[in-house]
Amino acid sequence: MTHFQHPQALVETTQIGDGSRIWAFAHILPGARLGADCNICDHVFIENDVTLGDRVTVKCGVQLWDGVDIEDDVFVGPNATFTNDPFPRSKAYQSKVARTRICAGSSIGANATILPGITIGRSAMIGAGAVVTSDVPSNAIVMGNPARIVGYVDTVAADATTILSDPPGSLGSQATPASGVTLHRMRLVQDVRGDLTVGEFGMEIPFIPRRYYIVFGTEGGKARGQYALRSTSLFMLCAAGSCVIVVDDGRNRAEFILDRPDIGVFLPPMTWYTQFRHSSDAKLLVFADAPYDPADYIREYDDFVSARKT
C-alpha cells in the first residue's frame, strides 16, 4: 500500500505510513513523520519536528508546531491550537522547543488550546474549548479555562445503596466493580450530645496501620493520588466535606463519592486510584498498612497496566 495525497496538498516529507490520507490545502514540511492510516484533513499545517503515530486523525484548521509528539489512535479536533514557546517574541527564536506529548488513544476537542511542554495521558479526553495549562492524567476528562478534571472515561459508578440502607450504626461492606476494592459502613453513634463514628483496626478497618496522612486544601479542581502501590493497602475516610474517588484494577474502573465520615473504602495493593472534586472543607483521612517507601509507588499509568498483566 501507499498513502493518498490530494493534488492540492503540499507534502514535502517522504516519511508517511501506508494507508494515510492527506487532503486538500494541507502542508507538511520535510522533517515530519506520519504513521500508517492517518487522516490529515484540509488546511492542516505540520512542521518539521513533529511525529504522528498510527491511525491519528487531525481535523481541519490544526497547526502542529515543532516539538509535538502524537502517539497512536489520537483524535485532534478542528482548530485545536498547539503552542511550543511559553514567551513568544517576534524574531526571537528558542534554541530548544518544549516537547508536547499526546499519549495513545486520547482525544482533543475543537478549539482546545494546549500549552507547550505538556503531557496528555493515555485515553484522556480534552473538552472543546479547554485551555490545558498542565499535564492531564491518563483517562481524565478535562474542561474549562484553565482546564480542570471533571471526570474519568469508562468509569462505572459504585453504588453504596446496600450498606447505606442498613439501620444507622450497623456494620457492613460492599464490593465495587474494581477487583478487591470494597466500601465499608462504620459504626455510627448518635445522641443529643452529637454524632460519633468509630472503627477498630483489624476489624472494621481490615489491617493494623503503620502510617496515616490527611489530604486537605484541595479545592479549585485539584486532583491527588494518581498512583498505585505495589504491596501496600489503604483505607480512606472523608472526615469532613466530600470528594470523589476513582479506583482502577487495570481492567475495570469505578467512581464513588465519600461524603460522610461513617463510609470508608478499602484499596488492596496494585489498585490505581485518584481523588478529585473535593469540597472546600474536604479532609480525607488515609491509613496505610506499611511505612512510606518511594519504591512501592507506580506513578505512570502505563507502567501500572503492564505490571497488572504480569
Query: 95 is written with which cell numbers?
Result: 534554541
pLDDT of residue 156: 81
Q: If we measure between CA atoms, which residue out of 276, 267, 275, 286 comes closest to residue 176?
A: 267
**Which of 3.50.50.60, 2.60.120.10, 3.40.50.300, 2.40.50.140 is the CATH number of 156-309?**
2.60.120.10
pLDDT of residue 9: 97
pLDDT of residue 42: 98
Tens of pLDDT, residue by residue over 216-239, are 988 766 788 999 999 999 999 999
pLDDT of residue 170: 61
The DSSP H or E segment spanning 174 is strand 172-175
Cα separation, 133 vs 114, whole angstroms = 7
Cα separation, 117 vs 101, whole angstroms = 8
State pTM to two decimals: 0.86
pLDDT of residue 168: 58
For residue 58, what are the CA distances in angstroms to 21, 22, 47, 98?
11, 10, 14, 21
pLDDT of residue 282: 93
First to last CA, the chain: 36
Enumerate residue ranges in the chain where pLDDT < 50. Answer: none
Instruction: Report the 3 state secondary structure along 103-159.
Output: CCCCEECCCCEECCCCEECCCCEECCCCEECCCECCCEEEECCCCEEEEECCCEECC
Tens of pLDDT, residue by residue over 20-50, are 999 999 999 999 999 999 999 999 999 999 9
Is there a common fold for 1-153 and 156-309? no
| Cβ-contact 255, 152 below 8 angstroms | yes
For residue 92, which phi and psi values (nearest 5 degrees)?
-110, 115
pLDDT of residue 190: 84
Count of all residues that appear for the chain in the document: 310
Q: Locate the domains of the chain by residue range.
A: 1-153, 156-309
Determine the topology of domain 1-153 in CATH.
UDP N-Acetylglucosamine Acyltransferase; domain 1 (2.160.10)
pLDDT of residue 93: 87
